[in-house]
Amino acid sequence: MPQPAPSYSIERVETAAGLQEEIDLRIEVFHREQGFSVELEVDEHDVVPGPTAHFVIRLQAHGAVVGTVAIPFAQCIGANRPLGSRKYGFGSILVRHAEQWALSAAAQEGGLQTVISSQEQAMPFYQRLGYTAEARGDKYPDEGVPHQKMVKWLSA
C-alpha cells in the first residue's frame, strides 16, 4: 500500500528544459539504477513538440521531477520513477493520467488499446493497473533484461 503522497502536480512537457528534466530522470532510473545503456535513453521521440506526449510528476515542495511517462502516439506507455519516490504510488498516478489523456485524444474512436513493454519484474505493477500479458507474446530481451508486451483496452 503506497504511503500518502506529498503534494504534486502532473505537467505535460512542452519545453526543451522540461524535456531535459524528464530525460535526466530516465537516465537516473534506467542507466544509474538499472545499468541500461545511457545511449538508448534519447531517441527521435524526445523532442517537443514532437511525436510523443511526455508527462512528468513534480513535487510542489521543491519542484523535483519524480516520475515520467511518455506516450508515443499509437505506440506504448511506460512509467519511470526513481527508487526514493516509488513508495508514494506515483507510477500508478502517472499511468492512469496517461491513459486518460490517450483516451480523450482518441475519443472519436470509441476507445483504444494501449500496449506497454514491461520489464518482467514490473509486470505485477502493470497487472494491478489492469494490463494483461499479450496472449501471443513471448518474453524478449531488451538490453539483456526480460520484457513482455502487456495490453489494456481503454474506453470511456
Give me the CATH number covering residue 61.
3.40.630.30
**Single pTM value for the model:** 0.64
- Identify the pLDDT of residue 19: 92
- Identify the pLDDT of residue 136: 76
- 3-state DSSP call for residue 11? strand
Which one-letter amino acid corresponds to residue 44? E
Considering the domain boundaries, does residue 1 fall inside one?
no
- Identify the pLDDT of residue 74: 47
Is the per-residue pLDDT at 46 higher than 90? no
Considering the domain boundaries, does residue 134 fall inside one?
yes
**CA geometry: angle 129, 131, 136, nearest 5 deg:** 170
- Identify the pLDDT of residue 75: 47
- Identify the pLDDT of residue 80: 57
Higher pLDDT: 142 or 108? It is 142
Q: How many domains does the chain contain in total?
A: 1
Considering the domain boundaries, does residue 91 fall inside one?
yes
Average pLDDT over residues 80-107: 74
Considering the domain boundaries, does residue 2 fall inside one?
no
Considering the domain boundaries, does residue 66 fall inside one?
yes
Mean pLDDT, rounded, of the chain: 82
Q: Give the residue among 150, 151, 156 at the shortest CA–CA distance from 109.
A: 156
- Identify the pLDDT of residue 116: 84
Contact in structure between 11 and 54 (CB atoms under 8 Å): no
Domain residue limits at 137: 8-154
Is the per-residue pLDDT at 109 higher than 70? no
Higher pLDDT: 76 or 35? It is 35
Average pLDDT over residues 86-108: 78
Considering the domain boundaries, does residue 32 fall inside one?
yes
Considering the domain boundaries, does residue 3 fall inside one?
no
What is the percentage of the chain residues whose pLDDT exceeds 90? 21
Separation between Cα atoms, residue 84 and residue 67, nearest integer Å: 11
Considering the domain boundaries, does residue 76 fall inside one?
yes
